[in-house]
Structure 1
Amino acid sequence: MDPEETSAGHESNLPAPRPARSVLFGLPPVGNRYPGAVRVALALAIPAAIATLLGFGSASLLVGLGAFASIYGEGRPYRSRWKAVGIAATALTILSFIGASVGEPVHRAIAEGAPTVLLVFVVLIMAVVVSTCAFTVDALRLGPPGAFFLLLTTEISSVIATPVQPPVEVAMWTAIGGINAVVVSMTGILWAPRAVERSAVQAAVSAVAEYTDAQAAYAPPELTRDKRHAAALRLHDAWQCLYRGAIVGKDHPLTRELERAQISMARAISDDHDPELRADPAFDVDEVGAHPPLPDPTIRYRFLRACNPSSRASVTALRLSIACMAAGTLTVLLGIDRPDWAVIAAAMVLHQGPDRILGTYRGIHRIGGTVLGLILLGAIYAWSPTGLWLVAVLAVLMAGIELFLVRNYGIAVILITALAILLGAAGGAHGTVQHLILSRMLETAIGVVVALVVLWTVGRGAHRRTLIWVDERAGSVLFKLLTEIRARHYAPQVNWSELSELRRDLDFELRGSAMAGIDAAHNEPEWASQQWRTHTELHHLGSDVLHRLWFGTQVSRSHLEEWESRYLRSGSV
């Protein structure tokens, strides 16, 4: 076959970005998020209402900074939820103190006549915070909401601290909100200790049934593909939920039910003739594979592997550092009073990864969401709620953020904009409404433009290095696994369960490779098409090995020899 034809064939099977219309205006189903929205709202409303009734005034609304911690626990079983929310609450408290400790002396000095260039110190701290947090979130693959609320807490704290409301007081209110977030997030354990796991399994079973029904009904390819990806995502979430709930490997009804759904998924995939699926069995971050995902490796493994200039986490952190510093400094040089808001805008575009297409969509969401959020803010200011009414408004905004954060980023930005400014106003940080709206629009535009310039110019070939690097890592782990399998053929007693650590690492690396492949295909499809054969053959082989080992099938000599031969042909050595 002609090389150009081969390249074109691979390019036609490359993962394509979702259509702009569906990303910008769509509301994909993500399961029932209403209970989580209620919990998030109560995490803010309960302590804020009590403090307001006790006469602490608007400063008590800063418990909302700690209430952000509850968002980090949603979707996790109670066994691990308390830890996730507790760690988030601790981080938010520390960052509120850091932000306030930097912002208070800077703003006080400027008020006393010092040059506004001192605001660059605030910008620097924010850039360091968001880069560090984004690196950690990406390295550990913690998923939404990512590093954004950590940065938002730092930003709000930096502008509300005053001599009357010192950093210690800001951190105290944040801690109160965080403690309440832990309590509210865990209340469900009292009457339904396995409700989260049960809900995740039911969602996966329903999604698999919808996929198989679409196949049986010969639904249009696009619909079947969407159902397949939805089923794979629900299965992945359910397995991770059961792992965190520590019931995988036990004879638990939920585990058995999910295993049956996984087998149904495997059979459906084997009958699926979608060219996209034939090109790459781990085509998307949804992990469209026949075998279930394995638990993540240790935190140490995940963090240290990301400490490489070619890792996705490193690329994201580098771009964030440059964009946040540039946007904030430019705002200071232009004489605009709030460079922190430009930093926030830049971070919202870049903190979720290096995909240029999706990053551009986020930029559009940020600008449009900010404009609509400021309109919403103007309506709230016209109403001028105080006391418990203001607490209720903030609680509704928090609930809305939880509902839309993973469904439509633009709608979430509308609510985040209003919430952030209202919380910041608790320290009397804003002037007139007209000045606030105009300056926030200008600062947002600067932040988004700078972020998009950085996204499209800094590290233009980074996606190449990342894909090659992570495929090499996956190939290396696969080689070790095949070597261990061969060694067991010569052992007097074969124990395949001892391979669990290598299987886990291979599964993790293949998922990282899938994400890197998507980034490369979106950023530079021409180059990605040249790498796609090697990339997909590695995934085919890795998925076959994991599939056979997961379902406990004996690995025969012929299977092992076939795998070794395919490994050599794939060019992974």
Structure 2
Amino acid sequence: MNPEDAPPGEPAVVPAPRPARSVLFGLPPVGNRFPGAVRVALALAIPATIATLLGYGSASLLVGLGAFASIYGEGRPYRSRWKAVGIAALALTVLSFIGASVGEPIHRAISEGAPEALLILVILVMAVVVSTCAFTVDALRLGPPGAFFLLLTTEISSVIATPGQPPTEVALWTAVGGASALLVSMTGILWAPRAVEHAAVDAAVSAVDEYVAATDQANRHAAALRLQDAWQCLYRGKIVGTDHPLTRELERAQMRMARALADDHDPELMADAAFDIDEVGVYPPLPDPTIRYRFLRACNPSSRATITAIRLLLACIAAGSLTVLLGIDRPDWAVIAAAMVLHQGPDRILGTYRGIHRIGGTVLGLLVLGGVYLWSPTGLAMVAVLAVLQLGIELFLVRNYGVAVIFITPMAILLGAAGGAHGTVQHLVLSRMIETAVGVVVALIVLWTVGRRAHRQTLDWVDGRVARLLGVLLTDIRVAQRAPSAELCRDLEFELRGAAMAGIDAAHNEPDWVTLKWAAHTELHHLGSDVLHRLSFGTTVSRSHLENWERRYAACRSS
């Protein structure tokens, strides 16, 4: 909806967070995740079973650290999955070595009488790891599971090394798990090489059909997201631009969605702020820019990635240090809790929900752990327990974080105990609860106090990037009398998606301020989308079109 379409005198309607009930307790549909969850579980179970049968004992369970790599490949086509899983496996192996190399001498020194304050060094390493990884994940827009399993591996390996297990041994077991993750993740290519692309297109087509049949807000937003995800999946699968049936099918779905949006003049729907976000043209979205472009653009104090990383660094150091001062034995667990609240972005409302999820999921997860301790499984039985926990993590990680934490909590503690770390169940449960509470409280304080107006900074910065690219593009058309480069159009579309995300974050954090900015913000978004839509057809831009764009651009710059 353009600003001139809004009823005069009425304030703009900005995006509102999802109701707390649906976020905290809902299980939104995300397609069939069971096959992927089975793969993730097998990536751990197969090498751990073999190693256990060969007599390597509980240390062989450390393959679970490397098996986390398989989670990073789910949802990606096989032609790019091997790279994602391989990079994740390498990162997990390196981080396990770093964690063990830092943890082992520190814990040994403490056991020989050194002060507990030495644990601050472990905290600093973990804080740097998670802030660096979160910056990279956000800058590249890699999505779930984000930086969490990278931090978890660093944390567990620092604890595993406590009894003197060599860091090289920890890294070796992690590498074995990573190799297993790579092989298991890629097995499907043998009988269904395009299964992931088929699933993505089917999900998009179904979502569009649901929107066309019942044009409501939820269906519209779901269809827009599914289309975007499906196109990026086909880009990664290297079939966009070919005459592949999946490309043709998705193009038809894209056109149906665009026509349905164009015909949807329900005033109630047009007054919804999501109407300004779910804009879908008849042209397919462009691929993401290069990794270099995405990373370097985020190296700015106003970027979402930078703000997320700074908050993480401060919160993790503060939470861990406070736990050391309180004399609790596992400050690393407080760091984990703080990181889980903050690592997915600066949205204060959703961050608060994650904090509630963390505490509730930890309580239930510790009950599960208590049941496992009462059972006291060993050998292959313990392998089976860890495989089931891994399966549960993958099933619920993107559906409901609180439910996923129920599986993550016992998984992390059991893997940490694989190297010999132990303690009474009562002490373990009590200390983990205190550490979780400290981490969550510190994270929420940082979330609501550090950079209180950072969302304003980010929205102005990313809208400025959109405006600058639009200016270059319009100048190219007028001066060079030719269509702009494909790279320029690609970068503009990427910035438009970033502007939409920044607008949502800002609206959740400070709706009153965003209400004043929303008309100008969305008009800039519409102008960019209109220009890309026209250029996508490859036709010559008429003088009237160019002059109209330039008038609108001048109005945006002056607002």
TM-score range with shorter-chain normalisation?
A: over 0.9
Does the 8 A contact of 1:30 with 1:407 survive in 2? yes
Question: Which of 542, 545, 550 does residue 559 from structure 1 map onto?
Answer: 545
- The structure 2 residue matched to 1:426, chosen from 389, 408, 418, is 418
Q: Which runs of 5+ in 2 are unaligned?
A: none
Superposed, which structure 2 residues align to 1:368-517 within 5 Å? 368-489=360-481, 496=483, 499-517=485-503
Matched, 1:548 2:538: no
For residue 69 of structure 2, what is the amino acid of its counterpart? A
Match of 2:299 among 271, 284, 307: 307
Aligned counterparts of 1:426 and 1:311: Cα–Cα separation in 2: 40
Aligned residues: 554
- Return the letter of the residue paired with 1:138: D
State the secondary structure of the residue aligned to 1:9: coil
Change (3 A) 1:342 1:31: same
- In structure 2, the CA distance between the partners of 1:287 and 1:65, relative to structure 1 (3 Å rule), is farther
SS in 2 for 1:208: helix
1:273–1:430 Cα change, 3 Å: farther
Mapped partners of 1:34, 1:442: distance in 2: 34
> CA separation in 2, counterparts of 1:393 and 1:333?
35
Please give the alpha-carbon distance, in whole angstroms, between the structure 2 residues aligned to 1:499 and 1:229: 30
Alpha carbons 2:163, 2:420 under 8 Å: kept: no
Q: Which amino acid aligns with 1:486?
A: R
Q: Identity of paired residues, percent?
A: 78
Tell me, in whole angstroms, the C-alpha distance in 2 between the residues paired with 1:414 and 1:126.
Answer: 22
CA contact (8 A) 1:69 1:178 kept: yes
Deviation at 1:72, TM superposition (A): 0.3
Is the contact between residue 365 and residue 410 of structure 1 (CA under 8 Å) also seen in structure 2?
A: yes
Q: Does 1:534 align with 2:520?
A: yes
Answer whether contact 1:316 1:350 (CA < 8 A) is retained: yes
d(CA) in 2 for partners of 1:357, 1:499: 39
**Mapping of 1:150-165 within 5 angstroms?**
150-162=150-162, 164-165=164-165
Instruction: Name 2:61's counterpart in structure 1.
Output: 61
Q: CA deviation at 1:483?
A: 1.7
Mapped contact 2:346–2:447 kept (Cα < 8 A): yes
* Conserved? CA contact 1:69–1:85, under 8 Å: yes
Rounded Cα–Cα distance in structure 1 between residues aligned with 2:398 and 2:80: 21
Q: Is the 8 A contact 1:8 1:529 kept in 2?
A: no
State how far apart, in whole Å, the 1-side matches of 2:99 and 2:302 are: 30
- Note if contact 1:534-1:571 (Cα within 8 Å) is conserved in structure 2: no
Q: 1:162: Cα distance to partner?
A: 4.2
**Alpha-carbon shift at residue 279 of structure 1 (Å):** 6.8
Shift of 1:427: 1.1
Q: Deviations over 1:314-359 (max 9, x none)?
A: 0000000000000000000000000000000000000000000000
Instruction: Show CA shifts across 1:273-294 (max 9, x none).
Output: 355656767744x665554321
Q: Check whether the contact 1:65–1:177 (CA below 8 A) recurs between aligned residues.
A: yes
**In the alignment, structure 1 residue 20 sits paired with structure 2 residue 6:** no
Deviation at 1:442, TM superposition (A): 0.3
Partners of 1:418 and 1:282 in 2: CA distance: 42
Query: Gaps spanning 5+ residues in structure 1: where?
Result: 216-223
Shift of 1:170: 0.2
SS at match of 1:427: coil
Q: Given the two structures, how large is their TM-score scaled by the length of structure 1?
A: 0.94
Q: Which residue does 2:557 correspond to in 1? A: 571
Q: Report the alpha carbon displacement of residue 484 of structure 1 after superposing the two structures with TM.
A: 1.8
Q: Are 2:162 and 2:421, in contact at CA under 8 Å, matched by a contact in 1? A: no
Tell me the secondary structure at the aligned position of residue 11 of structure 2: helix
CA distance in 2, matches of 1:260, 1:304: 35
**Residues 277 and 265 (structure 1), Cα distance of their counterparts in 2 relative to 1, 3 Å cut:** same
1:50-449 to 2 correspondences below 5 Å = 50-162=50-162, 164-215=164-215, 224-273=216-265, 277=270, 283-284=276-277, 291-449=283-441
Judge conservation of contact 1:7–1:530 (CA < 8 Å) in 2. no
CA RMSD of aligned residues (A): 1.8
Q: Separation in 1 of the partners of 2:275 and 2:260?
A: 15
2:11 match: 9
SS in 1 for 2:43: helix
Judged with a 3 Å threshold, the aligned counterparts in structure 2 of structure 1 residues 50 and 364 are, in CA distance, closer, same or farther, namely: same
3-state SS of 1:571 partner: helix
d(CA) in 1 for partners of 2:186 and 2:334?
36
